[in-house]
Amino acid sequence: MSVRILALVGSLRAGSHNRQLAEAAVKLAPEGAEVELYEGLAEIPFYNEDIDVEGSVPEAAARLRAAAQAADAFLLFSPEYNGTIPAVLKNAIDWLSRPYGAGAFGGKPVAVVGTAYGQYGGVWAQDETRKAVGIAGGKVLEDVKLSIPGSVTRFAETHPADDAEVAAQLTEVIARVHGHAGETVAA
Protein backbone atom coordinates (compact mmCIF):
# COMPACT_ATOMS: atom_id res chain seq x y z
CA MET A 1 0.00 0.00 0.00
CA SER A 2 1.44 3.35 -1.03
CA VAL A 3 0.97 6.36 1.24
CA ARG A 4 0.65 9.77 -0.37
CA ILE A 5 2.08 12.69 1.64
CA LEU A 6 1.29 16.18 0.38
CA ALA A 7 4.03 18.74 1.09
CA LEU A 8 3.07 22.41 1.40
CA VAL A 9 5.83 25.03 1.57
CA GLY A 10 5.22 28.36 3.28
CA SER A 11 7.76 30.25 1.20
CA LEU A 12 7.26 31.37 -2.39
CA ARG A 13 10.90 32.32 -2.99
CA ALA A 14 12.54 30.18 -5.69
CA GLY A 15 15.70 29.68 -3.62
CA SER A 16 13.85 29.08 -0.37
CA HIS A 17 15.64 26.76 2.03
CA ASN A 18 12.25 25.39 3.10
CA ARG A 19 11.48 24.57 -0.52
CA GLN A 20 14.87 22.86 -0.76
CA LEU A 21 14.01 20.92 2.39
CA ALA A 22 10.72 19.84 0.76
CA GLU A 23 12.62 18.82 -2.39
CA ALA A 24 14.86 16.72 -0.17
CA ALA A 25 11.79 15.07 1.36
CA VAL A 26 10.59 14.08 -2.11
CA LYS A 27 13.98 12.41 -2.76
CA LEU A 28 14.18 10.75 0.66
CA ALA A 29 10.70 9.23 0.75
CA PRO A 30 10.94 5.57 1.72
CA GLU A 31 9.50 2.75 -0.35
CA GLY A 32 5.75 2.76 -0.01
CA ALA A 33 5.57 6.52 0.46
CA GLU A 34 5.26 9.27 -2.10
CA VAL A 35 5.93 12.87 -1.07
CA GLU A 36 4.29 15.25 -3.53
CA LEU A 37 5.52 18.84 -3.46
CA TYR A 38 2.44 20.98 -4.11
CA GLU A 39 2.92 23.78 -6.60
CA GLY A 40 0.54 26.72 -6.89
CA LEU A 41 0.04 28.22 -3.43
CA ALA A 42 0.86 31.68 -4.86
CA GLU A 43 -2.17 31.55 -7.17
CA ILE A 44 -4.73 30.90 -4.42
CA PRO A 45 -6.70 34.01 -3.46
CA PHE A 46 -6.96 34.95 0.19
CA TYR A 47 -9.70 32.96 1.86
CA ASN A 48 -13.05 34.73 1.70
CA GLU A 49 -16.38 33.02 2.37
CA ASP A 50 -17.97 35.17 -0.33
CA ILE A 51 -15.94 33.36 -3.02
CA ASP A 52 -16.03 29.93 -1.35
CA VAL A 53 -19.36 29.01 -2.90
CA GLU A 54 -20.08 25.50 -4.16
CA GLY A 55 -19.79 25.44 -7.92
CA SER A 56 -17.74 28.63 -8.14
CA VAL A 57 -14.71 28.06 -5.89
CA PRO A 58 -11.63 29.65 -7.52
CA GLU A 59 -9.82 27.08 -9.67
CA ALA A 60 -6.54 27.41 -7.74
CA ALA A 61 -8.29 26.70 -4.43
CA ALA A 62 -10.23 23.79 -5.94
CA ARG A 63 -6.95 22.24 -7.19
CA LEU A 64 -5.44 22.54 -3.71
CA ARG A 65 -8.50 20.93 -2.14
CA ALA A 66 -8.46 18.07 -4.65
CA ALA A 67 -4.77 17.38 -4.02
CA ALA A 68 -5.36 17.48 -0.26
CA GLN A 69 -8.39 15.18 -0.46
CA ALA A 70 -6.26 12.66 -2.37
CA ALA A 71 -3.48 12.78 0.24
CA ASP A 72 -3.15 10.38 3.16
CA ALA A 73 -1.00 12.77 5.22
CA PHE A 74 0.61 16.19 5.14
CA LEU A 75 4.11 17.54 5.67
CA LEU A 76 4.14 21.32 6.10
CA PHE A 77 7.37 23.30 5.72
CA SER A 78 7.27 26.63 7.50
CA PRO A 79 9.82 29.40 7.59
CA GLU A 80 9.30 32.10 10.20
CA TYR A 81 8.14 35.54 9.12
CA ASN A 82 8.18 38.14 11.90
CA GLY A 83 7.89 35.44 14.54
CA THR A 84 4.93 33.62 13.04
CA ILE A 85 3.46 31.57 10.18
CA PRO A 86 3.79 32.91 6.61
CA ALA A 87 0.53 34.19 5.09
CA VAL A 88 0.70 31.81 2.11
CA LEU A 89 0.74 28.75 4.38
CA LYS A 90 -1.98 30.12 6.66
CA ASN A 91 -4.12 30.85 3.60
CA ALA A 92 -3.73 27.25 2.39
CA ILE A 93 -4.76 25.98 5.83
CA ASP A 94 -7.80 28.27 5.77
CA TRP A 95 -8.93 26.95 2.36
CA LEU A 96 -8.36 23.35 3.46
CA SER A 97 -10.35 23.88 6.67
CA ARG A 98 -13.55 24.35 4.66
CA PRO A 99 -16.28 23.37 4.18
CA TYR A 100 -16.65 23.62 7.94
CA GLY A 101 -16.60 20.18 9.52
CA ALA A 102 -15.64 18.48 6.24
CA GLY A 103 -12.29 20.06 5.35
CA ALA A 104 -9.53 18.24 3.52
CA PHE A 105 -7.39 17.67 6.63
CA GLY A 106 -10.17 15.46 8.05
CA GLY A 107 -8.19 13.74 10.81
CA LYS A 108 -5.24 12.96 8.54
CA PRO A 109 -1.74 13.02 10.07
CA VAL A 110 0.12 16.33 9.74
CA ALA A 111 3.74 17.07 10.64
CA VAL A 112 5.24 20.55 10.63
CA VAL A 113 8.96 21.10 10.05
CA GLY A 114 11.20 23.81 8.70
CA THR A 115 14.26 25.94 8.77
CA ALA A 116 14.84 29.60 9.47
CA TYR A 117 17.72 32.02 9.81
CA GLY A 118 17.32 32.46 13.58
CA GLN A 119 18.87 30.40 16.32
CA TYR A 120 15.71 28.37 16.96
CA GLY A 121 14.94 27.34 13.38
CA GLY A 122 11.46 28.83 13.19
CA VAL A 123 9.86 27.06 16.16
CA TRP A 124 7.37 29.88 16.80
CA ALA A 125 6.03 29.67 13.25
CA GLN A 126 5.95 25.89 13.42
CA ASP A 127 4.03 25.98 16.70
CA GLU A 128 1.53 28.45 15.20
CA THR A 129 1.18 26.22 12.14
CA ARG A 130 0.49 23.17 14.32
CA LYS A 131 -2.14 25.14 16.21
CA ALA A 132 -3.89 26.33 13.02
CA VAL A 133 -3.83 22.96 11.27
CA GLY A 134 -5.10 21.20 14.40
CA ILE A 135 -8.06 23.58 14.62
CA ALA A 136 -8.58 23.03 10.87
CA GLY A 137 -9.10 19.32 11.49
CA GLY A 138 -5.68 17.77 10.99
CA LYS A 139 -4.27 15.13 13.33
CA VAL A 140 -1.14 17.03 14.37
CA LEU A 141 1.83 14.79 15.10
CA GLU A 142 3.11 16.76 18.08
CA ASP A 143 6.07 14.43 18.58
CA VAL A 144 7.30 14.71 14.97
CA LYS A 145 9.36 17.88 14.78
CA LEU A 146 12.37 19.25 12.94
CA SER A 147 13.56 22.85 13.36
CA ILE A 148 16.83 23.69 11.66
CA PRO A 149 18.45 26.97 12.75
CA GLY A 150 20.85 29.16 10.80
CA SER A 151 19.49 28.31 7.36
CA VAL A 152 21.26 31.16 5.57
CA THR A 153 24.69 29.96 6.60
CA ARG A 154 24.01 26.23 6.92
CA PHE A 155 22.56 25.94 3.42
CA ALA A 156 24.61 28.70 1.74
CA GLU A 157 26.54 26.18 -0.32
CA THR A 158 24.87 22.89 0.59
CA HIS A 159 21.42 21.67 -0.41
CA PRO A 160 19.58 20.16 2.58
CA ALA A 161 19.54 16.78 0.78
CA ASP A 162 23.36 16.84 0.82
CA ASP A 163 23.63 17.64 4.53
CA ALA A 164 23.96 14.18 6.13
CA GLU A 165 22.54 15.24 9.51
CA VAL A 166 19.54 16.99 7.97
CA ALA A 167 18.92 14.13 5.52
CA ALA A 168 18.90 11.61 8.38
CA GLN A 169 16.55 13.74 10.48
CA LEU A 170 14.21 14.40 7.56
CA THR A 171 14.20 10.70 6.62
CA GLU A 172 13.10 9.92 10.19
CA VAL A 173 10.33 12.54 10.01
CA ILE A 174 9.02 11.10 6.72
CA ALA A 175 9.17 7.55 8.08
CA ARG A 176 7.13 8.58 11.12
CA VAL A 177 4.54 10.44 9.02
CA HIS A 178 4.39 7.40 6.73
CA GLY A 179 3.81 5.15 9.74
CA HIS A 180 1.02 7.31 11.13
CA ALA A 181 -0.59 7.60 7.72
CA GLY A 182 -0.43 3.84 7.22
CA GLU A 183 -2.25 3.36 10.53
CA THR A 184 -4.92 5.87 9.52
CA VAL A 185 -5.40 4.34 6.06
CA ALA A 186 -5.64 0.83 7.52
CA ALA A 187 -8.21 1.89 10.15
Q: List CB contacts of 117: < 8 A, sequence separation 6 or more.
A: 149, 150, 151, 152
| Assigned domain for 113 exists | yes
Tally of domains in the chain: 1
pLDDT at 42: 97
Q: What is the CATH number of the domain that holds 172?
A: 3.40.50.360
Beta strands 73-77 and 33-37 are unpaired
* pLDDT tens track for 44-90: 999 999 999 999 999 999 999 999 999 999 999 999 999 999 999 99
**Which residue ranges of the chain lie beneath pLDDT 50?**
none
| Assigned domain for 158 exists | yes
| Assigned domain for 99 exists | yes
Residue 96 zone, left/alpha/beta (φ > 0; ψ -120 to 50; rest): alpha
| Assigned domain for 52 exists | no
Output the pTM of the full model: 0.95
For residue 116, give the DSSP letter: -
pLDDT at 70: 97
Cα first-last separation, the chain: 13
Domain that holds residue 130: 3-47+57-186
